[in-house]
Structure 1
Amino acid sequence: MAPPTSGDRRRESIPTYVKALSGSLGGIMEACCLQPIDVIKTRLQLDRTGTYRGIIHCGNTVATSEGVRALWKGLTPFATHLTLKYALRMGSNALLQSAFKDPVTGNLSNRARLASGFGAGVLEALLIVTPFEVVKIRLQQQKGLSPDLLRYKNPIHCARTIVREEGLRGLWSGASPTVMRNGTNQAAMFTAKNAFDVLLWQKHEGDRKTLQPWQSMISGFLAGTAGPICTGPFDVVKTRLMAQGRSPSGELKYRGLIHAIRTIYAEEGPRALWKGLLPRLMRIPPGQAIMWTVADQVTGLYERRYLKEASF
């Protein structure tokens, strides 16, 4: 077998811990920038009296009546969620890519890149995303703002109530569609991000070329649009399964991924499987643009400092 060429040696792998660090820092920045959108979305979802007349009016009302800092309420759990999720996503993807690379050339095929992204999405869905989102959706579906009138008082109380009434498995309600959504989403996102980097900027991982922040934002934004379009049905089913609690008789409207898809299709039509696509497109692509801007700068710094030194 032919030894790796000098070009292959230049494109050395970036360590998993660097990828995980870049993802966690990107998650913190995304949370800080987009938390107001999440606060406004939650206020609109909980508004029963028509207090808010739209996104802009809601933001202005909150800032005026409660202060600008109120737009960052809940930042700590939101940032913690994104930090853990992105650290696991980026780190596990890097680890899987290293395992799937050709042992001779060090190249990564498109099939291997898709498999790595899917595997990273599955891990984050099972370990972090599903329990966090079960609690979040149960809280967000409640109407009203007075804690005394709400079944779930806060995230900890919500998690404890679910475990007490439904068992530990209740925190993993909707795990199947979440796995499919996140796996498909990350397979599409990582593959698209790499493709846009190469197509638009001729950037290859490990080539010691650092993208400008605006270039990373464009690639990240474009890559972030692929996932929501591909995974719309999984996201709708995930939300329906997570939101439903068991009735006193123990019956469930949706008995699983396939049953939920068939039921929604039969009762509401095929378009219902893509409900909420526009809000997801308003949230996910900008978030990916921010995250990748930070992550690319972190990995770019590593490439310039350490891969360059290692090549001489």
Structure 2
Amino acid sequence: MADRNDQKSTKTIPPYMKAVSGSLGGVVEASCLQPIDVIKTRLQLDRSSSYKGIVHCGTTIARNEGLRALWKGLTPFATHLTLKYALRMGSNAVLQSAVKDSETGNLSHYGRMVAGFGAGVLEALVIVTPFEVVKIRLQQQRGLSPELLKYKGPVNCARMIIREEGLFGLWAGATPTIMRNGTNQAAMFTAKNAFDGILWRKHEGDGQMLLPWQSMISGFLAGTAGPVCTGPFDVVKTRLMAQSRSGGELKYKGLFHAIGTIYAEEGLRALWKGLLPRLMRIPPGQAIVWAVADQVTGFYEKRYIHNATL
């Protein structure tokens, strides 16, 4: 009996299954929440107070540019989320295995945070930064006539950025993106695991399959703290990504210069511009992603891990 229990406790869901579950969750999230992301981006780029709030921003975009404008940048956003969650979930699983106690196989809270931070840094460098640069350049364009728009689509946008600003133009705002994503994922993975245990007594490898609404509650709660803590990084990231190096001297020279400039010109609250739409997007987004991901991994866990050890 002891050998059987030991075998059960050491088996975990393989990283490739975590990656698959995350990518499927990313597709669903992108389709549902793209309009909120467009509104968030427009609010963060609004230095003249053209928009009076979330509702006014959304209705103004729909009225002036058409309803489809609320899904501007969906292709790079959906692709970005699919790849991002695959890399995030997969790399986090690999890093968790690397930092587990070699003797007991247990993962400490500190180890879980380190693995989450590492996964966030990796996704920021490999996927998030270049995709968000393209997405934000597309989202900041205003107007209905395609011939008047500088960027005609995601591929055209990426090519123009590389031609005018060099390859590293796609990595504008990489530093605040690393800080934002690393901190977010360290908190998110730790909080999700904690809420699963506290609310539902769910632990990986126990064969229990959470119901979708249970996963949504845990994911929603886990996704709430990050946006509040990382608001300034997100605003600076958006400003740095939006400015083009082809237009002469850059307004923002880097992370700390941007923070200081925004604070001096617009006040402290400007560093949390777009926080409400982020809170409207990220926690519901995490709820959607985890509802899908937990069903995929739960099915695998129940069929191939728990049943195999009975």
Task: Give TM-score, length-normalised by structure 1.
Answer: 0.87
**Displacement after TM superposition at 1:57 (Å):** 5.3
- Return closer, same or farther for 1:251/1:217 CA change in 2, 3 Å cut-off: same
State the Cα distance separating 1:246 from its structure 2 match: 2.6
User: Helix, strand or coil: the match of 1:205?
Assistant: coil
Question: Can you give the 5+ residue segments of structure 1 that lack an aligned partner in the other structure?
Answer: none
Task: Let me know the Cα RMSD of the aligned residues.
Answer: 3.0
Aligned counterparts, 1:170-189, within 5 A: 170-189=169-188
Hey, what's the Cα distance between the residues in 2 that align with 1:56 and 1:151?
Answer: 22
Match of 2:108 in 1: 109
- 8 Å contact from structure 1 (residues 135, 155) kept in 2: yes
Corresponding position: 1:151 with 2:150: yes
Partner of 2:254: 256
Matched, 1:14 2:13: yes
Q: Which residue pairs with 2:242 in the alignment? A: 243
C-alpha distance in structure 1 between counterparts of 2:270 and 2:62, whole Å: 31
Mapped pair 1:81 → 2:77 = no
Question: Of residues 242, 262, 265 in structure 1, which corresponds to 2:263?
Answer: 265
Shift of 1:210: 1.1
Which position in structure 2 is the counterpart of 1:300?
A: 298
The superposition leaves residues 246-291 of structure 1 with CA deviations (integer Å, 9 ceiling, x where unpaired) of: 365x422211112212222222222221111001001111111000
How far is 1:106 from its partner? 1.0
**Partner-residue secondary structure (3-state), 1:291:** helix
Deviations 1:200-235 (A, max 9, x none): 111111111111111100000111111111110110
Q: How far apart, CA to CA, are the structure 1 residues paired with 2:18 and 2:217?
A: 20
TM-superposed CA distance for 1:42, in Å, is 7.8
1:278 corresponds to: 276
Instruction: Report the residue type matching 1:297 in the other structure.
Output: Q
Q: How does 1:6-155 map to 2 (within 5 A)?
A: 6=5, 9-10=8-9, 12-35=11-34, 37-38=36-37, 54=56, 75-155=74-154
Structure showing greater relative contact order (alpha-carbon pairs closer than 8 Å, 6 or more residues apart): 2
1:10 Cα deviation (Å)? Answer: 2.8
CA distance in 1, matches of 2:85, 2:23: 5
Alignment correspondent of 1:226: 225
Q: Give the C-alpha shift of residue 99 in structure 1.
A: 0.5
Instruction: Return the offset for 1:40.
Output: 7.0
Give the CA deviation at 1:54: 3.8
Contact 2:72 2:138 in 1 (8 A): no
1:49 offset after TM fit, Å? Answer: 11
- 2:105 match: secondary structure: coil
TM-score by length of 2: 0.87
Deviation at 1:12, TM superposition (A): 2.2
- Identity across the alignment (%): 73
Instruction: Output the CA distance in 1 between the equivalents of 2:266 and 2:166.
Output: 31
**Whole-Å Cα distance in 1 between the matches of residues 72 and 266 of structure 2?**
35
User: Which 10-residue stretch deviates more, 216-225 or 256-265?
Assistant: 256-265
Give the Å deviation of 1:126: 0.7
Q: Deviations over 1:18-55 (max 9, x none)?
A: 10011011112212333454567789999x999x9747
- More displaced stretch, 160-169 vs 134-143: 134-143
Q: Which amino acid aligns with 1:10?
A: S
* 8 Å contact kept, 1:175–1:238: yes
Conservation of the 8 A alpha-carbon contact between 1:189 and 1:223: yes
C-alpha displacement of 1:153: 2.0
What amino acid is aligned across from residue 164 of structure 1 in structure 2?
R
For residues 8 and 270 of structure 2, what CA distance do their matches in structure 1 show?
50
Q: What is the Cα deviation at residue 61 of structure 1?
A: 6.9
Instruction: Indicate how the Cα distance of structure 1 residues 89 and 83 shifts in structure 2: closer, same or farther if over 3 A, else same.
Output: same
Q: Equivalents in 2 of 1:58, 1:251: separation in Å?
A: 31
